[in-house]
């Protein structure tokens, strides 16, 4: 089996026996590592991919429950099976409560039972990870529906109520202003719903990446036209500096969505009469797109997590436009599914530049 297994065991005889059990069960010897201390084991975990840990609790540097606590901090996504000489039911219960997959007593298991324990531990770990991801998906979906959709819908309803209540007394100018506001909110809702739909499809694995040769310059021009209303309202100038023949190999609709989201984001956080520039370069077989604005910038402590879309960083635009950061999370998903990277550089009160790269061929 192609599984990287780490045995953390200070007794050479026990370590040899466990390794032999694994080899007898068709696990590849070259994928089995051994560490005599927990400290050494953690070094191995940090230096290479490990899929499963077989852990002795009586180690020279740490012992029993302390060992479990420390390994749990470093291996939240790696299944751990305890191999202990201590037949202590209370300790076994504590180990399971900490997330240990199984607790085997030395001298009471053989190659077959160890192999079976590994098989079910890997299966349970995979199911737990899927459950965790599904729970995150549910929580994010509930937050989006309850917060990001509820807010604009409430505002929409308020404007409609104002029009209905004061229709006879309202001037044409006041009615027009309310209707324009309703139009703005409706477009914002449609944009959010489109993002939500695409994100949900991505999370459920029902969206297919269809890469093709795309002209990036033309995509930028197309999205500038889509954003014209927002640009005109804030009198923001946008300049497309990408070369007319700049191409990438990626999914057309996904990259169109990425560029549109990044444009909307820059418009939102750029002051009236501001400037947005979009440029492109070719580097080592990839294209790099840089979308820069002279807006309000992003605090340095938020740069590393701005693409997570977990709702922890939500702020209003320069004209009190609402946002959730959800569009940036979708951009990250789409770019990574097209074998690209996305990142941001920014200086507070000076502006931001969003960069993304894609394969050219």
Cross-strand pairs, 103: 82
Whether the Cβ atoms of residue 183 and residue 190 lie closer than 8 Å to each other:
no
pLDDT of residue 184: 73
3-class DSSP assignment, residue 96: helix
**Structure pTM?**
0.58
The proportion of the chain whose per-residue pLDDT surpasses 70, expressed as a percent, equals: 88
pLDDT of residue 322: 60
Listed residues 184, 207, 230: the one ending a domain = 207
Same domain, 249 and 317: yes
pLDDT of residue 149: 66
The proportion of the chain whose per-residue pLDDT surpasses 90, expressed as a percent, equals: 43
Helices (H), the chain: 12-24, 38-47, 64-74, 89-97, 111-143, 150-165, 172-203, 216-226, 228-233, 252-268, 326-337
pLDDT of residue 294: 94
What are the tens digits of pLDDT across the range 44-90? Answer: 998 999 999 999 988 998 888 888 888 887 777 889 999 988 888 88
Residue 190 has pLDDT above 60, yes or no: yes
Identify the domain containing residue 46 by its residue range. 5-109
Query: Which of 206, 242, 207, 212 shows the shortest CA–CA distance to 224?
Result: 242
DSSP string, 120-188: HHHHHHHHHHHHHHHHHHHHHHHHIIIIIIHHHHHHHHHHHHHHHHSTTT--HHHHHHHHHHHHHHHHH
* Beta-sheet pairing, 80-84 with 52-55: parallel
Is 126 a member of any domain? no
Most confident of 95-99, 214-218, 253-257: 214-218
Higher pLDDT, 354 or 322: 354
Same domain, 331 and 355: yes
What are the tens digits of pLDDT across the range 295-318? Answer: 988 888 888 888 876 655 566 667
Same domain, 65 and 146: no
* Beta-sheet pairing, 247-251 with 211-215: antiparallel
Over range 2-17, report the average pLDDT.
93
Q: How far does Cα 333 stand from its chain's mean position? A: 7
Is 128 a member of any domain? no
Is 130 a member of any domain? no
Residue 146 has pLDDT above 70, yes or no: no
The number of distinct structural domains making up the chain is 3
Higher pLDDT, 154 or 308: 308
Least confident residue range of 22-31, 85-94, 186-195, 332-341: 186-195
Same domain, 216 and 186: no
Higher pLDDT, 43 or 149: 43
- Other CB atoms within 10 A of residue 180 CB: 12
Whether the Cβ atoms of residue 217 and residue 246 lie closer than 8 Å to each other:
yes
Cross-strand pairs, 356: 289, 342
Same domain, 173 and 146: yes
Residue 142 has pLDDT above 80, yes or no: no
3-class DSSP assignment, residue 57: coil
């Amino acid at each position: 089996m192609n599984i990287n297994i780490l045995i953390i065991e200070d007794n050479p005889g026990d370590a040899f026996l466990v390794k032999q059990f694994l080899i007898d069960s068709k696990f590849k010897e070259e994928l089995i590592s051994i560490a005599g201390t927990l400290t050494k084991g953690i070094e191995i975990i940090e230096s290479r991919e490990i899929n499963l840990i077989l852990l002795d609790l009586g180690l020279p540097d740490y012992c029993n429950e302390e060992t479990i606590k420390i390994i749990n901090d470093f291996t939240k996504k790696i299944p751990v099976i305890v191999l202990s000489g201590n037949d202590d039911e209370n300790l076994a219960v504590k180990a399971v409560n900490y997330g240990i997959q199984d607790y085997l007593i030395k001298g009471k298991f053989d190659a077959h039972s160890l192999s079976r324990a590994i098989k079910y531990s890997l299966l349970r770990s995979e199911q737990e990870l899927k459950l965790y991801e599904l729970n995150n998906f549910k929580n994010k979906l509930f937050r989006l529906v309850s917060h990001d959709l509820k807010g604009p819908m409430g505002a929409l309803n308020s404007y409609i109520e104002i029009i209905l209540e004061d229709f006879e007394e309202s001037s044409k100018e006041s009615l027009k202003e309310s209707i324009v506001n309703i139009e703005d909110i409706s477009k914002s809702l449609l944009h959010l719903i489109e993002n939500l739909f695409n994100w949900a499809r991505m999370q459920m694995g029902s969206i297919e990446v269809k890469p093709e040769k795309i002209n990036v310059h033309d995509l930028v021009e197309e999205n500038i036209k889509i954003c014209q209303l927002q640009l005109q309202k804030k009198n923001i100038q946008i300049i497309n500096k990408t070369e007319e023949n700049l191409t990438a190999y990626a999914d057309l609709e996904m990259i169109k969505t990425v560029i549109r989201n990044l444009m909307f984001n820059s418009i939102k956080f750029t002051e009236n009469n501001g400037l947005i520039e979009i440029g492109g370069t070719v580097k080592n077989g990839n294209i790099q797109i840089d979308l820069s604005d002279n807006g309000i910038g992003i605090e340095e402590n938020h740069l590393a997590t701005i693409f997570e879309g977990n709702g922890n960083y939500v702020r209003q635009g320069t004209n009190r436009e609402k946002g959730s950061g959800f569009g940036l999370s979708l951009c990250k998903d789409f770019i990574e599914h097209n074998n690209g990277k996305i990142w941001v550089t920014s200086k507070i009160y000076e502006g931001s530049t969003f960069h993304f790269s894609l394969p050219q061929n």
